[in-house]
Amino acid sequence: MLIGLYFGALIVKSEALSWFRIQEMFRLQSFHMFGIFGSAVLVGGVTVMLTKRYHLPTISGETILIEKKPLQPTAHIIGGVLFGFGWVLTGLCIAPIFALLGVGAVAAIPIFFGALLGVYLYGHLQHKLPH
């Protein structure tokens, strides 16, 4: 819970919730969001590398297994395009929806329900989609 609160505060303070910052990114007018994403990829990559190299366990002591997944270009393209359309239309990806709800932004409510609808539809169409 504390990590989630910290993450929410971090994306609020970094202006990653800002519709204007997101539009600047899509119009290639600002490096701000690319810097945030780049640092997230760097931290994630280093974390995975250290976890694999030192066989780091979970808090409960279980071994963390990171399986290599097969490359699935069709699934990745379809998923990326759908995610991108939703992001461009709403100006949000999933994490900022929760942060905006947390700061009381009422405009995030229909976006939240749209995301839930997307998850529901995916659950019902999953067997027909490329995986």
Is this structure's pTM higher than 0.75?
no
Note every long-range contact of 5-10, with CB atoms under 8 Å and residues 24 or more positions apart, other chains counting.
7/95, 8/98, 8/99, 8/102
pLDDT tens by residue, 28-80: 998 988 998 899 999 999 999 999 999 989 999 998 988 888 888 988 898 88
Determine the pLDDT at residue 98.
82
| Share in percent of the chain as helix, strand, coil (round to 5) | 70, 0, 30
What pLDDT score was predicted for residue 60? 93
Q: Name the DSSP class of 104.
A: T
